[in-house]
Amino acid sequence: MLKYALLAGAMTIAAPALAQSTMTSPQTAPAATTGAADPSMSPAQTAPTQAGPSQPAQTAQAMQPASSDQVAQVIDTEFPTYDKNGDGKLSAAEFGDWMVALKTKTDPATKPGAPETKKWVAAAFAQADTDKSKSLSKPELTSFLSQG
């Protein structure tokens, strides 16, 4: 559950960047295929609709877990923001700031100073710190957030 919350938060932060690259391909698709559709495609796939049937597919697609590459991309982008001392690793406090920010995006009722939030962050850090160095490297963080 924790991993999904963290992954959802990471994807929330990365959504604008990912939307830029994924939104360009459907717009560049040729429009001339409406008359001669691929026989392997169903009518629902070949006929564009306004709002109805396409929304559940988009929602289902958005609910799928992110790939390791997507998680790594988000981490590469956001890591410097939370690595306050610039040592290339996240301390427990730096990691906690990032995880609370992610959790707050998915659950606005999250209170950073609440005991349950502190316990959640401590458990997440302990699980992510696989080499027990009291700090997290990018590979450790990527591995932790990519786990399903």
**One-character DSSP codes across 48-87:** --SSTTHHHHHHHHHTSPPPHHHHHHHHHHHHHHH-TT-S
Asked if residue 65 has pLDDT above 90, the reply is no
Handedness of CA 51, 54, 60, 65 (dihedral sign): negative
Q: Which tens digits make up the pLDDT trace of 90-147? A: 999 999 999 999 899 988 988 888 999 999 999 999 999 999 999 999 999 999 888 8
Residue written as tokens 């997440």?
124
Per-residue model confidence (pLDDT) at position 1: 57
Query: Which pLDDT tens digit goes with each residue over 38-58?
Result: 444 433 444 444 444 444 444
83 has pLDDT over 70: yes
- Judge residue 71's burial from the number of C-beta atoms within 10 Å of its C-beta, 0-12 exposed, 13-18 middle, 19 or more buried: buried
Q: Domain coordinates of the chain in residue numbers?
A: 78-146
Query: Is residue 99 within 8 Å of 119, Cβ to Cβ?
Result: no
> pLDDT grade, residue 68 (50/70/90)?
confident
pLDDT tens per residue, range 15-41: 555 455 444 444 444 444 444 444 444
Answer whether CATH 1.10.238.10 is correct for domain 78-146.
yes
Any idea what DSSP says for residue 110?
A: -
As a whole number of angstroms, the distance between CA 146 and CA 128 comes to 11
Query: pTM for this structure?
Result: 0.56
Q: What share of the chain is helix, strand, coil (3-state, %, to 5)?
A: 65, 0, 35
